[in-house]
Amino acid sequence: MLLRPKFISIHVFSFILRQQTYQIHQLRPKSSRPYYNRHDDDKDERIRRRKENPEGHLHLFKSKGQNLLTNQRVLDIIVRKSDIKTTDTVLEIGPGTGNLTVKLLEVARKVVAVEIDKRMVEVLHNRVKASAFEDRLTVLCKDALKTEFPHFDLVVANIPYGISSPLVAKLVFGVNPYRSATLLLQKEFARRLLANPGDSDFNRLAVNVKLVAEVEFVRDVSKRDFTPCPKVDSSVVIIRPKAEIPDVDFGEWCAFTKTCFSKKNKTLGATFKQKKKVMELFKFSEGTGSKEDSAVRLHDCYSSCDGNVEVMRTDVLETGASLFKDKLVDILKSGGFEDKRPSKLSNEDLLHLLSLFNQAGIHFHD
């Protein structure tokens, strides 16, 4: 009689296999070497680095422009190009943890650092405390855009990207006299500062700054020279205030260039024919007392007439604005500016055009 083969369940077989593997493992000689955990060494290394570099554990916010320049060669170049004298007081904006500050302290009589982040201020104080230059440093924990700067001879700073434009405007149009400002800026922003008429990057920023200052390119700086690494490269520029500046109201100048460069590649004729801009200038000229204009006289007449005052006022305003637009165009034609584009004009050209408007009783405001 034939016997049926016996089949072992797969579960039973797996259990037997595990038991045999365990027995073989038990027969192996045990190592006398103690257990080694690689993560323990990593932790000790982090603690050691923190002691040697106390600012290294700070969380830096890219959104606030907290990118610290760490390349020592670039830092040395910035200090050397700044041409600092031993009698100078240097204003540094956004010193961070002091990579540039400690080098400035070695050559300047005094450094005034303006830093809004209290964590950075603490690290900066601790870093300088151990040096022989502690008495040369004054730290202001304030917003650089809102605080009034004390006296200074030079500005040397790694400017946070987010405040570059208003800060440069504050420096060049401010009341503090100074010799130069050596600034580390976002590369694209620096290119805009350096642009000349006819360049694709030429813009209102360059026009306004170059009215009162000269801008010199020093060098580009790779984004890899910063911690944390930003998305774009940077550039070092030097801004030097001009000894002689035009006799012009800076507030009106900025409003005038804002109007001209609203569409920098449009002709000035097209810009000053826009209904919204015409009405804005017309109402402002009316408010400043240019009563000699026929447009204003038409506007004044509605008060002595019968009928719907509101309807008449609207009609008179539209008539006055139309006459005022003709006046704007006549001024542009008289100076040969009607077909000119702002992106091609020099500061001398723009100053001449503004003077033509002012002579006709037309002023600008922001």
82 and 222 co-located in one domain = yes
For residue 165, CA distances in Å to 92, 231, 346 come to 16, 19, 21
Does residue 143 have a known ligand-binding role? yes
299 and 341 co-located in one domain = yes
Please tell me the distance from the alpha carbon of residue 219 to that of residue 236, in angstroms, as a whole number. 5
Please tell me the distance from the alpha carbon of residue 30 to that of residue 38, in angstroms, as a whole number. 21
Please tell me the distance from the alpha carbon of residue 123 to that of residue 100, in angstroms, as a whole number. 14
Number of domains in the chain: 2
Q: How far apart are the first and last CA of the chain?
A: 113
The verdict on residue 211 lying in a domain is yes
Residue 291 reports pLDDT greater than 50: no
306 and 338 co-located in one domain = yes
Give the single-character DSSP code of 152: -
Q: How far is CA 154 from the centre of its chain?
A: 19
260 and 320 co-located in one domain = yes
Residue that has been written with the tokens 């302290």 in this structure: 105
Tokens of residue 135, six digits = 């008495």
Domain boundary pick from 190, 216, 241: 241
254 and 231 co-located in one domain = no
Residue 63 reports pLDDT greater than 90: no
pTM of the model: 0.76
pLDDT band at 239 (very low <50, low <70, confident <90, very high): very high
Does residue 214 have a known ligand-binding role? no
Complete DSSP assignment for 182-196: EEEEEHHHHHHHH--
- Cα dihedral 220→222→223→226 (10° resolution): -100
Domain membership of residue 96 as a residue range: 62-241
Residue 5 reports pLDDT greater than 50: no
The verdict on residue 1 lying in a domain is no
What average pLDDT does range 99-115 have in this prediction?
A: 97
pLDDT band at 216 (very low <50, low <70, confident <90, very high): very high
Q: What CATH number corresponds to the domain at position 287?
A: 1.10.8.480
Please tell me the distance from the alpha carbon of residue 366 to that of residue 268, in angstroms, as a whole number. 18
The verdict on residue 56 lying in a domain is no
Inter-residue long-range contacts of 24-27, CB under 8 Å, 24+ positions, other chains counted: none
Does residue 208 have a known ligand-binding role? no
pLDDT band at 297 (very low <50, low <70, confident <90, very high): very low
Query: Where do the H-state alpha helices sit in 163-308?
Result: 164-173, 187-194, 204-212, 250-260, 268-271, 275-287, 294-301
The verdict on residue 83 lying in a domain is yes
Please tell me the distance from the alpha carbon of residue 209 to that of residue 219, in angstroms, as a whole number. 20
Among residues 60, 100, 103, the alpha carbon closest in space to that of 230 is found at: 60
pLDDT, one tens digit per residue, over 169-194 is: 999 999 899 999 999 999 999 999 99
Does residue 135 have a known ligand-binding role? no
Stronger pLDDT, 355 or 41, i.e. the higher one: 355
Q: Specify whether the backbone of 61 is left (phi greater than 0), alpha (psi in -120 to 50) or beta.
A: beta
Give the total residue count for the chain.
Answer: 366
Does residue 67 have a known ligand-binding role? yes
220 and 256 co-located in one domain = no
| Cα Dmax for the chain | 134
158 and 201 co-located in one domain = yes
For residue 276, CA distances in Å to 161, 271, 283, 318 come to 33, 10, 11, 12
Please tell me the distance from the alpha carbon of residue 233 to that of residue 79, in angstroms, as a whole number. 19
